[in-house]
Structures are given as C-alpha cells and as structure tokens.
Structure 1
Amino acid sequence: METLRAAVIDDEANARQALISLLRILCPDVVVCGEAKNVDTGIELIRKEKPNLVFLDIQMPGKTGFDLLSSFDTIDFGVVFTTAYQEYAVKAFRFSAIDYLLKPVDPDELQAAVEKFKVQHDSVNPQQLKILQEHIQNPQPAGLKQRTRNDNQRIALPTAEGIHFVQMTDIIQCESLGSYTKFHLVGSKPIVVSRLLKEYEEILDNYYFFRVHQSNIVNLEHIKRYVKGDGGQVWLSDNTEVEVSRRRKEEFLELLSDFYVNSGKIG
C-alpha cells in the first residue's frame, strides 16, 4: 500500500482537526505530515515537508488559497480545496474540474477524493486555477432570466487523456452517451467526458445553453434554424439536426427569443 503524505491548511483549528481525524480513521495510508493556519505558514510547510496532497482552504484571513498556490513556480502536488461556500462555488469547481470538499467534510466524499488522487496523481493546472478563480470572484446569478453571454468563458473538460480547455463559444452541443457526455466542437474532434449530461446542464444553466431534449444540450449561439413542429427541431452550425421535446418547447422558445434580443441580432 502506497503511503501518501498530506498537509492540511485552514485558518479554523476545528476544521483542521476534524479533517485530520477523518483521514486517520478512513484513510490509514495517508500520513498527515503537517498543518498550517494561514497562507504564509502553509507555504513554509509545503516547501519543508513536500507533501503529495494538500487540503487547502480557499478563504483565509489576509491571503487566499489562490495566493498560496501562486507562490509556487510549479505545483507538483495534488490539491483538494476545502470550502464553506455553497451553490455558485460548487459550479465554479465543476467548471474548472478541480476537486473540492464542502465543509463540514462528508466522510464518503473525503474517501472518494483520496482514492481519485491515488489513481490519477493529478496536480492542478494553472489554467484550471484561473477558471476557478474567475468563477469564484464573479459568481453568476441563478435564474433563467439572468443568463450571461458565453463570450470569453472557458470550461475544463477532464478526459482519460488529460484535461481539455474549451472556449464555451466553441461548444455546439453536448450529447448524452449514457454515463458519458460528448461535446461537439467547432473545428476540432468531439471530446467525451465521463460525466452525466445532467451535471453539465446544471453547470451551464446561467449561460445560453439549453437542454432541448433528454439527450441534448445546445448552444443557442450555434442555432441556425428552428423548424416548427410538435416540439420542433433545431439546425446547428455543423449542419446537424436536434429534436426539441414537446414539454421543453415553450421554455426553449422563450429563451431563444431572449438570446436574440440580448445579442442584438433582432430587435
């Protein structure tokens, strides 16, 4: 059994002790090589102990977890963020494909995060951090009427080959393949991700994407034509045709109208 060395960095002593206790009970192959209560002591701890995995709080007094990571030229250790943030932060983590644990830490989720790291040994890519930081600092409001244009937004798509960083404007549609989601893209091969379409429906629901059918989420920016019918069909920019389910038709047409007005394509 391979032993992992872990560091716990959090300004709350109770949170540190709770996490360390869970690791000792649930993950006997993880050795906690140290803990720190702020960013500066956390940097010293990492440089001295060289842990494989760091459990890192985002929001700490004075400096953030992002500040800690930016102090390293190369991040050669795994990171699992711990956070008390809810909702919008969860969406931000999903956008960036970075592992996280919500406080109070769920034992099953902790075990899953450790097991995932043991298999993949992933470190954090700077592009992932940038995407995460953008979404944490600029949370999107919830609600159908408050959609945001897809411009200049990126999403991290984790695959067996590695993480792909994709401009949201380049996503034509997302297609369900059972427990996988296939991203159809402009000018490149599709990308298949081992996540359910429903998860991406939740991630993208503040942008101009819409689940027109059980199997398809379309990017409204790539709709070239809507054909009326029981539910109707949309023709996309890659000349594919996607059915619109009857029960989603009214909401879809309302959002499509909103998109055209806000984009200035029609008055």
Structure 2
Amino acid sequence: MSQALRAVIIDDETNAREALSNLIRIVSPEVVICGEARNADAGTELIRRERPNLIFLDIQMPGKSGFDLLSGFEKVDFGVIFTTAYQEYAIRAFRFSAIDYLLKPIDPDELQTAIEKYRERVGSVNPEQLRILQEQLDPARTPRLVERKRNDNQRIALPTAEGIHFVQMTEIIQCESLGSYTKFHLVKGPAIVVSRLLKEYEEILDHYYFFCVHQSNIINLEHIKRYVKGDGGQVWMSDNTEIEVSRRRKDEFLALLSDFYVNSGKLK
C-alpha cells in the first residue's frame, strides 16, 4: 500500500475545493486532505501549520495569487500541483515550465496521473520553473498568434529521468523525434532526451523562431548556416547536420525565415 500523503487545497471557490477533495478521496484515497483555504494568506498559515507534502494551488485568487503565496516562502519544500481555469495560454505555459497542472473542471484520470507523477518525483518546484511559468502566463508578454518572439534570454525547462534541465532557447540547435521521445541537440554539452512527443514541442515553441520543417525535426532558425534549394530543400545547421525540408512546408518555412532575418537585423 502506498504511503499516505498529506495535502492541502487552496482555492477561492468553495465548490472547486469540495469537488477536488471528493475526487482525491475517490482516485487516490492514500492522499489525506489535512486542510483547505480560500485565499493566499489563509493558505500560507495552513501550510506553515500543517506542513503538507503536497498542495493543490489555484493561480487566480482575489487579492494575492498562487504565485504570491509561493513567493512568501524562503524555500518551497513541498510539491505543488496548480489548478487553473486558464485556457488560452495554460497548456503551452505549463509545458514550457515543466510544472504539473490541472485544468478546471478537473478530470479524474488527469488528477490521478498528476499525483502519481509527484510520487515518482517527490520534489519541490524549482524557483526557475515558477519564473518561466509566470512569464509564459503573462498576457502582456505573450505575442499574438501572428507574431513571433525572439529566442534571446528565454529559458525552457526540460524534464528528464535525472531531473529538470534549464536550457537557453538560443542553445537549442534542433529537436529530433525519437518515437515517444524528443531529443534536444544543443550547442554545448550532450543532447537531452525528454519523454514527450515532438508534436508537443511544436506547439510549445510555436511563438518563437523555431519551425517544424519535417515530421521528425524542429529547427532553430538562429542556427541555420545554409539553405539548399530543392523539391523541399535542405538546411545545414550550425553543427553541420543536414535536415530535409518537407515540400508541403517549404513556402511557410521560407516566409518565416525571411521574417526572422528582417526582425533580427541579419538581412543582407
């Protein structure tokens, strides 16, 4: 039998707290709910008093947010699973930061999976993950769908069996599909293999200067050395690898490449 986990729920909506509490009792009876709170201040007191292993934390609450609550702790030595009603940016933001989340209304299977993932990891949330998540959830910093953001000064969290790797976007040369895994080829150091589909990273990187030139490869436009014309063509990357460009994606790729050179000031 699994060892009991002590958990608290922090959410300003009474119905949401009750629904989550009931679901937890059904799908993970080994999780003991040792308290609930309706705002950040009450949640902080509850955490300090009960010292839970895991907290279910709403992001948007009146007054102080879930981020404000966490910033009040010198060290976040407990697990965090965010609960949120965000839709437009949520999935991309949480995947970008590699932080566990549950979208409301909460699905029982997703809840069980999130708890199991916490048990496998048994660790606290890294401050860098929180910073990345806040940046990605900030509408003021999120471009409209027709815009792209520069890769400069942006980091992405890559979860592996060994832990979370924080990688500068400019250091990624390409992402390669390995079936159910994605391999990140970097400027320095060994490649990083993540247990996620390439398709997920195509969606995550959609607002940056990355492009899926083929069903097996996403490339960083900053690392293109040369484009060779052809049916679809080929690109030579900064690490001297040659990657085919799909014929059906050629026009979109060349348009984005032109946009990149204009906006980066590299157009000659």
TM-score by length of 1: 0.97
Please state whether the residue corresponding to 1:114 is helix, strand or coil.
helix
Q: How far apart, in 2, do the equivalents of 1:139 and 1:87 lie?
A: 14
Check conservation: 1:88, 1:139, Cα contact below 8 A. no
The letter for the 1-side match of 2:199 is: K
Runs of 4+ in 1 over 4 A off after TM superposition: none
The 5-angstrom pairing of residues 131-170 of structure 1 reads 131-137=132-138, 138-143=140-145, 145-170=146-171
The 5-angstrom pairing of residues 1-267 of structure 1 reads 1=1, 2-137=3-138, 138-143=140-145, 145-266=146-267
Q: How far apart, in 1, do the equivalents of 2:183 and 2:189 lie?
A: 13
Q: How far apart, in 2, do the equivalents of 1:134 and 1:148 lie?
A: 13
Q: How far apart, in 1, do the equivalents of 2:94 and 2:73 lie?
A: 21
Check conservation: 2:235, 2:242, Cα contact below 8 A. yes
The letter for the 2-side match of 1:209 is: F
The letter for the 2-side match of 1:19 is: L
Q: How far apart, in 1, do the equivalents of 2:141 and 2:123 lie?
A: 26
Check conservation: 2:143, 2:149, Cα contact below 8 A. no
Q: How far apart, in 2, do the equivalents of 1:182 and 1:99 lie?
A: 21
Q: How far apart, in 2, do the equivalents of 1:115 and 1:134 lie?
A: 27
The letter for the 2-side match of 1:200 is: Y
Q: Give a deviation string over 1:112-136, Cα, whole Å, max 9, x none.
A: 1011111211210000001111111
Q: Give a deviation string over 1:50-69, Cα, whole Å, max 9, x none.
A: 11110000111110111111
Aligned length: 266
Structure 1 vs Structure 2 CA RMSD: 1.0
Q: How far apart, in 2, do the equivalents of 1:226 and 1:93 lie?
A: 34
- How far does residue 140 in structure 1 lie from its aligned partner after superposition? 2.2
Please state whether the residue corresponding to 2:207 is helix, strand or coil.
coil
The letter for the 1-side match of 2:86 is: Y
The letter for the 2-side match of 1:140 is: T
TM-score by length of 2: 0.97
Listed as ranges, the gaps of 5+ residues in structure 1 are none
- How far does residue 212 in structure 1 lie from its aligned partner after superposition? 0.3
Please state whether the residue corresponding to 2:157 is helix, strand or coil.
strand
Listed as ranges, the gaps of 5+ residues in structure 2 are none
- How far does residue 264 in structure 1 lie from its aligned partner after superposition? 1.3
